[in-house]
Chain A
Amino acid sequence: MSDNNGFEPTIVGYFCNWCTYAGADLAGSSRLQYPHNVRGIRVMCSSSVDPMYLLRALFGGADGVILCGCEPGDCHYISGNYKARRRMMVLKTVLETLGLEGDRLWMRWIGAPDGPKFAKTMNEFTELIREKGPNPLGTAWNV
């Protein structure tokens, strides 16, 4: 099933209540197949996801972390997704500056009617992480 010695990644997703979580619902009820590796956590808005949560997940051994919010201009809370985007840009830059893998952290916009995009994104991300192999932080660090 995998190229990387049967490695099954663990992926933590933070999904906004109004768009992406509903999109995940739709993906499931449309019987779209996406990897079981993704564990979604429902949050009210992508802007309520503290970068610390994402870091904790990475340092705690998650192989990939994905934050999803509403499409630009469609945020239920007007501008929450933009706030989240800024934080993510900073966080990724910080990670890369420290020599850590910024691409284990994704941010994507997935709207409530976008079940197919949800499934596609989750497949792509899982595939990427599967190729990359286990997150070294998970074993080297234990925060």
Chain B
Amino acid sequence: MDMGKLAEAAKAMAGVVHVEEVPFLCTKEAVSSIGAKIRQHKANGAVLATCALFATKKLAAGIGIDPCLVQTFNLREEAAWSNKGNPEAATRKAIALTRMAVERVRLQEACPMRVMDMKQAALVIGGGLAGMVAAQSIADSGFDVHLVEKETELGGNARRIYSTVQGSDVQALLRDTIEKIENDPKIHVYKDAEVSEISGYAGNFQVAFAQQREAAKVEAEQEAGQEASPEKGSKPLLEVGAIVLATGGEGGIPTEYLYGKNERVVTQEEFEKRLFDGTLGNVKSVAMIQCVGSRDEKRPYCSRVCCSQALKNALRVKEMSPGAEVVVFCRDLMSYGFLEQYYTLARDKGVLFIRYELDKKPEVKDEGGKLKIQAVEPALRGMVTVEPDWLVLSAPIVPNDQSKLVEIMGVETTEDGFFKEAEVKFRPVDFVKDGIFVCGLGHSPRSISESIVQAQAAGERTVALLSRPQLSSGRVVSEVRERWCAGCEMCIQVCPYDARYKDEERGIVLVREALCQGCGACVVACPSGAARLRGFSDTQILSMTEVAI
């Protein structure tokens, strides 16, 4: 490439006062000398014709003028290296690219960063194990946490789990966790409460919630003719910077296999309770059916924990009465990770596993109060009959009804009704909407230890957000030419980040700069040209297009 020719052409370009070839632009000395040159020539912009963009981004910040007035482009990759055999063409392209960059910087306006206040507290919705762990991890970093639980006590599903397959005591863990939560001065627990309204955005949410029983009490008092104090009936209002959704899930209720019709047909959860509180009595024979209401057309997902739950309960039965017969009808036994050892152990102890296909489910009959199960045994290629004392069904995990939160918060759910994260690998506990995080069964079926890890992750993400004293916008954000805006709200519809809102009084749309990620979808959607993207304005792009041709 002919650098001399490029420099000569650049000198002739509109607005260019100084052109210089710098041998090692990456060095500190070079960067500061550019700063000096800019001041000397009283230039209000610079073009760095350099190499790959990611490497030069930081250079711009070091020069000492507003970084958005410095344009860098990848001269090396786009012109030199991609045209190796043709130096003349490379030079021509280099001149064109330089001219385009000069145009861009010539029409660039300074773009100061805007800062917004951060409310340094968090809201956790859901006081199950996941919610509590998230709350604890946020409080441990020194932030106030408001924990809202719709039931009258904390603990959620963990209250009904006694032990894990590994043998740890869940109830003890739960007691410790609740005790810590309730005694932590940073954590404010609101039981029997449900969030009713949420407005605002990352760093600045306003949350209203109603405490069911309180409200009922106030009403009762009013009916009894007593004067209720005015603030009692009103909804408490919280101001928080971030929200964690730990709304949880629950065991679905089976509709097959005589559940609800025969009292000896129970779910794994109910069976576990009997195993641990001693109401089971002497067991001679137990049958279990896996994937009841899971992995079918209606609920295509795997509920993940039921296989280890079945292994746990089967092993427990074998431990209590080694002579008991335990038969598990399963489709695939998902003993993932190190759980395989419990599958091996169960088989060692004589638990029978019989596989069934979706189109040949086991048949359960009630013969005078006695259960009778008939199923195809694939290894024997014949029917087997089991007459168990108990039939235990592995019910699916279904998310709690989240439609109200989805509506008031604008978060996304999957087809199955679970909350959907922004990106499964890079942002696994974030929502697309900034400042809202997710953990627990509301997101996906998961074991206790998996829930805890996810809750800690959500807690840490929250802390990362809250620990910034102020929220600053990116430099490339959209803006509104207020006089041109007709308030048609097209831009609000296309914005994926909720960064635009209507100022009803003035009838125009405004931008929440801290939320804007700078995609520019609004610019194209705007029929009146009122929406602009800083650094990528119409005039810049069009004038670059012109010089490119």
Measured CB to CB, the residues of A under 8 A from B are: 10, 12, 21-22, 24-29, 31-34, 36, 39-45, 47-53, 56-57, 60-62, 76-80, 83, 87, 119, 138
Contact = CB atoms under 8 A, between A and B. Distances in A.
Given A47-B519, A56-B545, A28 B74 contact: yes
19 contacts: A10-B549, A12-B549, A25-B77, A29-B81, A33-B82, A36-B82, A36-B86, A36-B90, A41-B545, A43-B541, A44-B518, A45-B519, A47-B494, A48-B521, A57-B545, A57-B549, A60-B549, A80-B519, A87-B524
B542 A33 contact: no
B78 A12 contact: no
Contacts of A25: 52-54, 74, 77
Contacts of A57: 545, 548-549
Nearest to B85: A33
Given A47-B520, A78-B432, A83-B494, A40 B78 contact: yes
Interface stretch (B10-18, B92-100, B193-201): B92-100
B213 interface: no
Q: Which of B84, B90, B96, B496 has the most CB of A within 10 A?
A: B496
Interface of B: 51-54, 73-74, 76-86, 89-90, 92-93, 96-97, 100, 432, 476, 494, 496, 517-521, 523-524, 533, 536, 538, 541-542, 544-546, 548-549
B529 to A, nearest CB: 10
A28 B81 contact: yes
B517 A77 contact: yes
Given A25-B77, A53-B541, A77 B521 contact: yes
Q: Which of A34, A51, A56, A138 has the most CB of B within 10 A?
A: A56
Contacts of B545: 12, 41, 53, 56-57, 60, 62
A94 to B, nearest CB: 15
A48 B519 contact: yes
Contacts of A40: 78, 97
Contacts of A12: 545, 548-549
B82 A28 contact: yes
Contacts of B79: 36
Contacts of A21: 53
Given A24-B77, A42-B73, A60-B549, A78 B97 contact: no
A56 B538 CA distance: 11
B519 A44 contact: yes
A76 B521 CA distance: 12
Contacts of B84: 31, 33
A36 B85 CA distance: 11
A41 B548 contact: yes
Contacts, number: 128
Contacts of B80: 28
B83 A36 contact: yes
B549 A61 contact: yes
B414 to A, nearest CB: 15
A118 B541 CA distance: 22
A34 B80 CA distance: 11
Contacts of B541: 41, 43, 49, 53
A20 to B, nearest CB: 12
Contacts of B542: 53, 56
A137 to B, nearest CB: 11
Contact of B548 (A10, A31, A77): A10
A28 B96 contact: no
Given A62-B548, A80-B519, A27 B536 contact: no
B410 to A, nearest CB: 13
Given A24-B77, A39-B96, 4 more contacts: A12-B549, A53-B541, A60-B545, A77-B519
A52 B90 CA distance: 29
A137 B332 CA distance: 64
Given A12-B545, A36-B86, A119-B82, A29 B520 contact: no
A31 B81 contact: yes
B23 to A, nearest CB: 20
Contacts of A24: 74, 77-78
Contacts of A49: 524, 541
A49 B521 CA distance: 8
Nearest to B541: A53
Contacts of B520: 43-45, 47-48
Contacts of B54: 22, 25
